[in-house]
Structure 1
């Protein structure tokens, strides 16, 4: 009953503040970063529904694992002090990152009582402050599928990041094989695997998935200036998508990716001018905190 009330409240909030818009029929991929971090608390159901209303083709999000092996939508495998209202303890674990509560040591029932939407976010002053929790991935998918169908929107695509690092193994998440397999099984059960890309900065889960599930679409996340050629060589195969920090994009990189049969979708692009410049270079999509920029960009380009 509590979950149903939260869902009904969310649908009412989104419908009251954002009109339904028609998504573009273009092949260009618009991804709402953590849903719509510029407008609603990140990685929450209100943010994802807002992104759908603004015509995003794809919902971009991150998943971590709770102690009871639930996939939780969260950018960090811990409660970020800047956005979550929780008392911080180390739980008796080595706090090597200086970060406090470790979601991998919490049951999802406990996670679901922590408010990660009401604190002000200085990086996103226009973000609505509402009580919001870190949702289960299965609940995000269920809600997005129902919402899209009810509002005659295209079935959404999903871009889901595995948040792993070698130093986090068995501390902030399970072994890579278990982590990745939990995600694949859930996506299969929800029948959205064909509409999902799995991404990571950590090459290990991508290598595992490429070997064990070769049909799954994968994206390599990149934030450094090491060449794409070297990154792909280290990965050992060419993924579906090369997804780098947007200032790293130039025409040579776009050409290289296309020559190798990869799409290039940079992150996180938050101004109309930057999006237009990247589109002119031929990128295949953008990941943005501000889904509402789609209307500004497409209107400007059509004038």
Structure 2
């Protein structure tokens, strides 16, 4: 059975990476999610995709230059589907506290060695505090991040985010001891899928928003789909 992950919550329905978006995902009965993390200036884990604030809040500046206490006051509903109420940038801690997901893909964007280490250790500390060590996977396309996770947080599962085929994603995933492969759907051929699953990888394919594509990938046998429309995905796959 193909599982469903809400992409940045329910990005197609509510402002991405906000508490509202994750609550929307849960409303559809979808209890797995994917989100993006950046550190604030005071090393708090903030849930936002871009390193800059412009696209989702309209503000200038970079996430890592601002304090968490300020970031959580910024309304992040710009550029998404229309939403009536303010939807601030959340701390990861707030989502852990308020959202009951059975699995979280926590994507860490590329970072310097120091920042990568700080980020994975912060994830570990928070996951431990909330009793979620076995419910989170640190995912990244960055070797720096995956290397830091393998070395400093070996007890948390790892996943490679693969967008391009210029490197063999299966080899890279193996090198960093990953057990999840988050694969751009355009790279998901039946051959690559079978090979990845034989290697023991859970293959999670993104971003899948068309019902026909959802059905096709589910028929291929992907382990999970990451979608902006978890409600639509749920209805589509239930009707198969």
Q: TM-score range by the shorter chain?
A: over 0.9
| Aligned equivalent of 2:56, options 71, 76, 83 | 83
2:87 is aligned to: 132
Query: Structure 2 matches for 1:234-273, cutoff 5 A?
Result: 236-273=175-212
Alpha-carbon distance in 2 for matches of 1:130, 1:296: 27
Alpha-carbon distance in 2 for matches of 1:78, 1:228: 30
**SS of 1:82's equivalent?**
helix
1:64 is aligned to: 38
Query: Structure 2 matches for 1:77-116, cutoff 5 A?
Result: 77-79=51-53, 81-86=54-59, 88=60, 101-116=61-76
**SS of 1:175's equivalent?**
helix
Looking at CA atoms only, which structure, 1 or 2, has the larger radius of gyration? 1
1:142 is aligned to: 97
Alpha-carbon distance in 2 for matches of 1:298, 1:220: 25
1:291 is the counterpart of 2:237: no
Instruction: For residue 180 of structure 1, report the CA deviation from its aligned partner.
Output: 1.3
1:222 is the counterpart of 2:162: yes
Structure 2: runs of 5 or more not aligned: none
1:210 is the counterpart of 2:150: yes
Higher relative contact order (CA 8 A, sep 6+): 2
Alpha-carbon distance in 1 for matches of 2:124, 2:29: 26
Give me the TM-score of the superposition, normalised by structure 1: 0.74
| Contact in 2 for aligned 1:41/1:129 (Cα 8 Å) | no
**Total equivalences in the alignment:** 240
Alpha-carbon distance in 2 for matches of 1:199, 1:131: 29
Going by fraction, where is strand more abundant, 1 or 2?
Answer: 2
Superposed CA RMSD: 1.9
2:137 is aligned to: 197
Structure 1: runs of 5 or more not aligned: 1-25, 89-100, 146-154
